């Protein structure tokens, strides 16, 4: 069964446009039969529309970057389509589109299956806090470069007080930080041990993106011209 045949039920309803069908054929490769069956049998019209919108947006990102498209391993493609199909938040849908676009234009191991798994567990607020920590971290690094070697000692990360939320949101902020930490996207300032066995924890409780967080950020950022995604 060709993908066009497998997706006939949603194509007939105007859910999948012809260019999107062709795009999905190219990225699914030999798994096209399974992807077609997935669209036909496993997801309802609502989910099909979500997945189709994300695929169409990913296609436009790739076109804007002028990048070449290649097949995506099913272990990565299917989780991306699954996650995109249940996403009704516009901001998170944009992340799904960027993830699909990068998976279709990057080396195979650049977008591992764990990344769609992580994205599927984020709420819009979690994603906002993640982006906020990253933006503040970039601002901090830029400021420290401008100060020069005679300025303050380099900071480890971003302080909670700098995130800029009112006190009423402190519990919600803590929950988002815990989620992002549990998913491995951000890390807390480590506890330092002295030689005498005493333990010292910084009062600032600073935060910064982890190596996985930086990889996730790259994967969920639309590809640009000449861009090569790397870990």
Is residue 131 situated within a structural domain? yes
One pLDDT digit (tens) per residue for the chain, 231 residues? 344 333 433 443 445 566 766 777 777 766 665 666 555 555 566 677 888 899 999 999 999 999 999 988 889 998 998 899 889 899 999 999 999 999 999 887 789 999 999 999 999 999 999 999 999 999 988 876 665 555 566 788 888 888 866 555 788 888 999 999 999 999 988 766 555 555 555 555 789 999 999 999 999 999 986 554 443
Q: Which CATH number fits the domain that encloses residue 177? A: 1.10.10
Residue after which a domain boundary falls, among 88, 111, 134: 111
| Co-location of 26 and 98 in the same domain | yes
For residue 88, tell me if it sits in a domain.
yes
Residues 8 and 79 occupy one common structural domain: yes
Residues 147 and 93 in one domain: no
- Tell whether 25 and 100 lie within a shared domain: yes
Same domain, 52 and 129: no
Strand partners, 192: 200
> What pLDDT is attached to residue 52?
86
- In terms of domains, do 157 and 84 share one? no
Residues 25 and 58 occupy one common structural domain: yes
Write phi, then psi, for 147 (nearest 5 degrees).
-65, -40
Which of 24, 123, 115, 38 has the alpha carbon at shortest distance from 16? Answer: 24
pLDDT at 228: 46
Number of domains the chain is built from: 2
What is the reported pLDDT for 91?
Answer: 96
Q: With contact defined as beta carbons under 8 Å apart, do 124 and 95 qualify?
A: no
Residues 129 and 107 in one domain: no
State whether 105 and 134 are in the same domain: no
Residues 14 and 93 both lie in one domain: yes
Nearest to 163 by CA among 146, 147, 186, 192: 186
Residue 40 within any structural domain of the chain:
yes
Q: Which residue, 80, 111, 142, sits at the end of a domain?
A: 111
Instruction: Provide the domain limits for residue 18.
Output: 3-111
Shared domain for 86 and 42, answered yes or no, is yes
Give the residue from 121, 33, 109, 18 showing the smallest Cα distance to 72. 109
Contact 88, 79 (CB under 8 A): no
pLDDT of residue 51: 86
Are 133 and 208 contacting, i.e. CB atoms less than 8 angstroms apart? yes
pLDDT of residue 86: 87
Is residue 24 a part of any domain in this protein? yes
Question: Looking at the domain assignment, is residue 228 inside a domain?
Answer: no
The answer on 201 and 141 residing in a single domain is: yes
Structural domain contains residue 119: no
In a domain, 231, yes or no: no
**Cα separation, 35 vs 76, whole angstroms:** 12
Residue 223 lies in a domain: no
Q: What's the pLDDT at 153?
A: 61
Whole-angstrom Cα distance, residue 127 to residue 91?
Answer: 9
């Amino acid at each position: 069964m060709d993908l066009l045949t497998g997706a006939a039920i949603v194509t007939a309803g105007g859910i999948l446009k012809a260019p999107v069908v062709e795009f999905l054929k190219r990225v699914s490769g030999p798994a096209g039969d399974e992807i077609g069956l997935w669209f036909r049998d496993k997801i309802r019209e609502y989910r099909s529309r979500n997945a189709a919108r994300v695929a169409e947006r990913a296609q436009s990102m790739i076109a804007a970057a002028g990048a070449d498209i290649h097949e995506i391993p099913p272990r990565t493609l299917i989780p991306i389509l699954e996650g995109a199909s249940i996403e009704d938040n516009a901001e998170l849908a944009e992340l799904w589109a960027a993830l699909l676009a990068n998976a279709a234009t990057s080396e195979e191991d650049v977008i591992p299956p764990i990344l769609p798994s992580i994205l599927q567990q984020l709420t819009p607020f979690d994603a906002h806090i993640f982006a906020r920590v990253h933006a503040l971290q970039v601002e901090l690094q830029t400021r420290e470069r401008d100060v020069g070697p005679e300025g303050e000692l380099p900071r480890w990360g971003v302080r909670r007080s700098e995130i800029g939320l009112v006190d009423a949101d402190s519990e919600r902020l803590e929950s988002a930080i815990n989620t992002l930490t549990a998913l491995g996207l951000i890390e807390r300032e480590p506890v330092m041990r002295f030689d005498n066995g005493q333990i010292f924890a910084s009062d600032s409780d600073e935060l910064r993106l982890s190596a996985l967080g930086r990889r996730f950020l790259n994967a969920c950022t639309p590809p640009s011209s000449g861009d090569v995604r790397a870990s």
